[in-house]
C-alpha cells in the first residue's frame, strides 16, 4: 500500500495514504483490517485526510508490515460492519453544521440588508408552521414558544434577533439529533448479532458450519434456546419464538411451516428448520436501532419524570411572557422570556445521559438494554445468583469419565459431546471441549435431540435411547438403574466434582465428573456488592445440596437453595418482588430464563445460553464477575447525573427568565445562553461516569 509515516512515537503512529481522501467504504475497510490484529489496541481512520492513527502494543516493524500488506481489494469485510458504521452520518452532520455557520455569517458580510430581511421572513414561516402543526395535539409545546418568539421579533422589525434565534435553534437541533443518533448507533452496534457458526442441512445431513458461509436459500436448523441467525421462512418444525429483541413483543409467538422469522429472535421452545431469505446486513441492524429508539425500556423512572415536567413547564413560560407584556408593554423583554424553555435541555440531557451510560457500560463488557434497568440496579435490594457458570467459573472442565457399562470412556465421551453440542451451557461446553481436546470427532450419531429444561437431553444413538442430565432427570424421572456390580463404585463418586449422568436404554452408562471451581473473584464481588448496598445475596442452583452448600460457604452468600427447578427460581423472585424488594437475577442457562424475565433486572453471562442473553436486560462478560460491581457504581452515578442535570437545567433557565424580565439581557443573548447551556449540559452528559 502506498503510504508514509507522518508521526511516530513508541506505541503510536500516524500513517498517511497517498490519495486526496478515502470514501466512507474505504475508510471503514481499512479500520476493519487494522482492528483485526491483536497487536493494535486502537485505530482511528480519517476519511477527509486519508490518515490513520494507530495505537499499538506490538513492535513497530510489525505495524509497518501490516500497513504494507494492506489491500482494499483483498480485504473481505462483512456487510454488517458497513451497515453499523456511523462514519457517513457523522460526516453529514458535521458538514451541515459547518455550512449553517458559514451561511449565517457569510450573508451578513455579502448580502444587502433588504435581501437578508426577505430571507429571514421566509425562514420565519418555517418556524411558524412548525409551531402551528402542534396545535391539534392540544398541548402547549416548545415549538409554539419558538414560533411566538420569532414572530414577535419580526413584528417589531428586529430581524437581526429573529435571524440569530433561528440560527441558534438550527444548530441546537442538529447537535441534539446528532448526539442522540451517535449514542443510539453505538448502542445498537453493541447489541448486534455475533454468531460464528450454525447448523446447516447439506446432503440430508446436519453439519456445523461457519455463519459467513451461509447463502440465501440454504437450510439452517435452529434448536431450542438458540438465536435465529438469519431472516428466513420456516420449512419444517414449529416453535415458540421470542421476538422481543426485534418487535418488543413480550409474549413468544408460535411459528410453524410457512411463517417468516427474523434474525436475532430466539427459539424459546421447539425446533425449526428455516430457508434463509437474507444473510448479513439486510436491515437487521436498522431494526435494532428502531427498537432502541422506540422502546420505553430506554426510559428510567427519573428520566420520564424529568421529561414530563419539561412539557408541563411550557404553559408557565407563556404565562410569564404574558405577564411581562401586561406590566411592561416591552416586546423585547417578552421575547427574552419566550426564548427560554426547560424542554430542550431536559429532553436532550436525560436520554443522552442514559445512552452514554449504556455505551460506557459496553466498554466494561456490559451490554444494557435500557435506562430502566440501570435504575433497577441502582435501587436493588437483593441479588439472586445461579451457581454454575456464574459464581463458579464460566468454563468448567471435565475431570474424568467413569464408565459404568463396560464401554470405553472415550467412546462414551464422544457420544455425550454429540448430544451436548446442540444446547450451549457451561457444562455442555465443557463436555464438547473435552471431546475436542481428546481429538474425538463426533459426527451426527443420533436422531432428533430433545431438550428438557433444567433436566437434560434425550435422543437415540445407534438405536439405543440415550439420555444425559441431572440425577433427578436420569434416575427419578427416567428410572435409570445402576448395574449391581457398580453400586459401590457409584456411592464412592468424589464429592468435590459436579456429576453429569449418561444412560442408554435405561441403564447408567457413564458418570462425567465436572470440575466446577469457584471464580477467583466471587467472594470479593459478593462482599463488594454488600458494601454497595445490596442487603441480601442468594444462590439458587439445580445442583445437589452437598455441592451447593460448599460453594455458598466459600463465596459468603446469605441464603442457599439447592436442587431447584426453573419455576422455583422464578417463583422465588416474584415472591420477593411482592414483598416490595427490587430483585436482580444473575444466570447463564436456559433454566435461568424464567427468573431472568421475572426480575426487575435480569443479568446474563455472555458465554451462557443464547436465550438467557436474549431475555436478559443486561449481559456481562464471562471473564470478569467484578463487572457487576462496576455496573452497580455506574448505575448509581447515572442516577446522580440525571438528578444533577434536572436541578441545573431548571435553576439556570429560571435565572435567564428573571434576567429577561428585568431587561438585563436582550432576546439574542437569552437565546444564546439558553442554547449554549443546553448544548453544554448535553455534551457534559456524554462524558464518562467512572474514572
pLDDT tens digits along 486-504:
888 988 888 778 888 999 9
Beta pairing class for 197-202 and 559-561:
unpaired
**Residue range 291-317: mean pLDDT, rounded:** 60
For the segment 148-155, the average pLDDT, to the nearest whole number, is: 78
Consecutive H or E run containing 198: strand 197-202
Asked if residue 349 lies in contact with residue 653, where contact means CB atoms within 8 angstroms, the answer is: no
Q: What is the pTM of this model?
A: 0.65
When pLDDT is averaged across residues 169-195 and rounded to a whole number, the result is 66
Q: ∠227-230-236 over CA atoms, to 5°?
A: 80
Residue 456's nearest CA partner among 279, 604, 590, 303 is: 590
Domain annotation for the chain: domains and CATH numbers: 3-77 (3.30.70.100), 366-391+519-623 (3.40.50.1000), 397-515 (3.40.1110.10)
Determine contact, residues 573/597, Cβ cutoff 8 Å. Answer: no
Report the distance separating Cα 686 and Cα 657, nearest Å: 27
Average pLDDT, the chain: 81
* Cβ atoms of residues 619 and 517 within 8 Å: no
CB distance 632 to 532 below 8 Å: yes
With H, G, I as helix, E, B as strand and everything else as coil, classify residue 250.
coil
615-638 tens-digit pLDDT: 788 888 766 788 899 999 999 999
What band does 14 get if pLDDT is binned at 50, 70 and 90?
Answer: very high
Among 67, 75, 72, 69, which residue's Cα sits nearest to residue 13?
A: 67
> Is 270 within 8 Å of 242 (Cβ atoms)?
no
- pLDDT for position 668: 67
CA–CA–CA angle 394, 397, 399 (5° rounding) = 155
Cβ partners under 8 Å of residue 463, min gap 6: none
C-alpha–C-alpha distance, residues 484 and 507, integer Å? 11
- Which of the four pLDDT bands, split at 50, 70 and 90, describes residue 282? very low
pLDDT at 296: 43
Q: Is the pLDDT of residue 66 over 60?
A: yes
Q: Which residue has the higher pLDDT, 269 or 364?
A: 364
Distant-in-sequence, close-in-space partners of 199: CB < 8 Å, separation ≥ 6: 206, 207, 208, 209, 220, 221, 222, 223, 422
Which one has a higher pLDDT value, 683 or 590? 683
Amino acid at each position: 500500500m502506498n503510504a508514509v509515516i507522518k508521526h511516530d512515537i513508541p506505541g503510536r503512529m500516524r500513517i498517511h495514504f497517498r490519495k486526496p481522501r478515502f470514501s466512507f467504504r474505504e475508510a471503514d475497510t481499512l479500520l476493519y483490517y487494522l482492528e483485526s490484529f491483536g497487536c493494535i489496541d486502537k485505530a482511528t481512520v480519517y476519511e477527509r485526510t486519508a490518515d490513520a492513527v494507530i495505537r499499538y502494543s506490538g513492535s513497530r516493524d510489525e505495524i509497518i508490515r501490516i500497513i504494507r500488506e494492506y489491500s482494499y481489494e483483498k480485504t473481505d469485510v462483512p456487510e454488517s460492519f458497513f451497515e453499523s458504521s456511523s462514519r457517513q452520518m457523522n460526516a453529514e452532520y458535521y458538514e451541515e453544521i459547518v455550512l449553517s455557520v458559514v451561511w449565517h455569517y457569510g450573508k451578513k458580510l455579502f448580502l444587502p440588508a433588504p435581501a437578508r430581511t426577505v430571507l429571514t421572513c421566509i425562514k420565519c414561516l418555517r418556524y411558524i408552521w412548525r409551531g402551528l402543526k402542534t396545535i391539534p395535539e392540544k398541548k402547549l409545546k416548545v415549538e409554539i414558544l419558538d414560533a411566538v418568539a420569532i414572530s414577535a421579533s419580526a413584528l417589531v422589525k428586529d430581524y437581526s434577533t429573529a435571524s440569530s434565534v433561528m440560527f441558534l435553534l438550527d444548530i441546537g437541533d442538529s447537535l441534539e439529533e446528532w448526539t442522540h443518533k451517535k449514542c443510539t448507533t453505538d448502542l445498537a452496534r453493541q447489541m448486534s448479532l455475533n454468531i460464528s457458526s450454525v447448523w446447516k442441512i447439506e446432503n440430508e445431513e446436519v453439519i456445523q458450519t461457519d455463519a459467513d458461509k451461509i447463502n440465501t436459500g440454504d437450510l439452517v436448523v435452529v434448536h431450542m434456546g438458540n438465536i435465529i441467525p438469519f431472516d428466513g421462512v420456516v420449512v419444517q418444525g414449529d416453535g415458540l419464538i421470542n421476538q422481543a429483541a426485534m418487535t418488543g413483543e413480550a409474549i413468544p409467538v408460535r411459528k410453524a411451516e410457512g411463517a417468516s422469522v427474523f434474525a436475532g429472535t430466539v427459539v424459546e421452545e421447539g425446533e425449526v428448520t428455516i430457508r434463509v431469505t437474507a444473510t448479513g446486513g439486510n436491515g437487521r441492524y436498522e431494526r435494532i436501532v428502531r427498537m432502541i429508539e422506540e422502546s420505553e425500556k430506554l426510559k428510567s423512572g427519573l428520566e420520564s419524570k424529568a421529561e414530563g415536567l419539561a412539557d408541563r413547564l411550557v404553559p408557565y413560560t407563556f404565562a410569564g411572557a404574558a405577564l411581562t407584556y401586561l406590566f411592561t408593554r416591552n416586546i423585547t423583554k417578552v421575547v427574552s422570556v419566550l426564548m427560554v424553555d426547560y424542554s430542550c435541555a431536559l429532553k436532550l440531557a436525560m436520554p443522552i445521559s442514559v445512552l452514554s451510560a449504556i455505551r460506557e457500560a459496553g466498554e466494561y463488557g456490559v451490554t444494557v438494554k435500557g435506562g430502566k434497568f440501570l435504575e433497577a440496579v441502582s435501587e436493588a435490594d437483593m441479588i439472586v445468583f445461579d451457581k454454575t457458570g456464574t459464581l463458579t467459573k464460566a468454563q468448567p472442565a471435565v475431570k474424568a469419565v467413569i464408565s459404568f457399562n463396560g464401554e470405553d470412556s472415550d467412546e462414551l465421551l464422544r457420544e455425550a459431546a454429540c448430544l451436548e453440542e446442540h444446547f450451549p451451557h457451561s457444562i455442555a461446553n465443557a463436555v464438547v471441549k473435552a471431546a475436542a481436546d481428546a481429538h474425538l470427532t463426533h459426527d451426527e450419531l443420533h436422531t432428533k435431540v430433545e431438550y428438557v429444561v433444567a433436566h437434560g437431553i434425550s435422543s437415540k444413538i445407534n438405536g439405543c435411547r440415550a439420555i444425559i442430565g441431572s440425577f433427578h432427570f436420569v434416575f427419578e424421572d427416567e428410572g435409570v438403574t445402576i448395574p449391581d456390580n457398580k453400586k459401590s463404585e457409584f456411592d464412592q463418586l468424589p464429592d468435590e466434582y459436579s456429576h453429569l449422568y449418561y444412560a442408554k436404554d435405561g441403564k447408567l452408562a457413564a458418570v462425567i465428573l465436572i470440575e466446577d471451581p469457584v471464580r477467583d473473584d466471587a467472594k470479593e464481588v459478593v462482599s463488594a456488592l454488600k458494601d454497595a448496598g445490596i442487603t441480601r445475596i442468594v444462590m439458587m442452583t439445580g445442583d445437589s445440596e452437598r455441592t451447593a452448600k460448599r460453594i455458598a460457604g466459600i463465596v459468603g452468600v446469605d441464603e442457599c437453595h439447592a436442587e431447584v427447578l426453573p419455576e422455583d427460581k422464578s417463583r422465588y423472585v416474584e415472591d420477593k418482588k411482592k414483598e416490595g424488594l427490587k430483585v436482580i437475577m444473575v444466570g447463564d442457562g436456559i433454566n435461568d430464563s424464567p427468573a431472568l424475565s421475572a426480575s426487575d433486572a435480569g443479568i446474563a453471562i455472555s458465554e451462557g445460553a443464547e436465550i438467557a442473553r436474549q431475555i436478559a436486560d443486561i449481559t456481562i462478560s464471562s471473564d470478569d464477575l467484578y463487572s457487576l460491581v462496576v455496573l452497580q457504581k455506574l448505575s448509581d452515578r447515572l442516577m446522580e447525573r440525571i438528578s444533577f442535570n434536572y436541578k441545573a437545567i431548571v435553576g439556570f433557565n429560571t435565572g435567564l427568565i428573571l434576567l429577561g424580565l428585568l431587561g438585563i439581557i436582550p432576546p439574542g443573548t437569552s437565546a444564546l445562553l439558553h442554547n449554549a447551556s443546553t448544548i453544554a449540559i448535553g455534551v457534559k452528559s456524554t462524558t464518562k461516569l467512572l474514572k
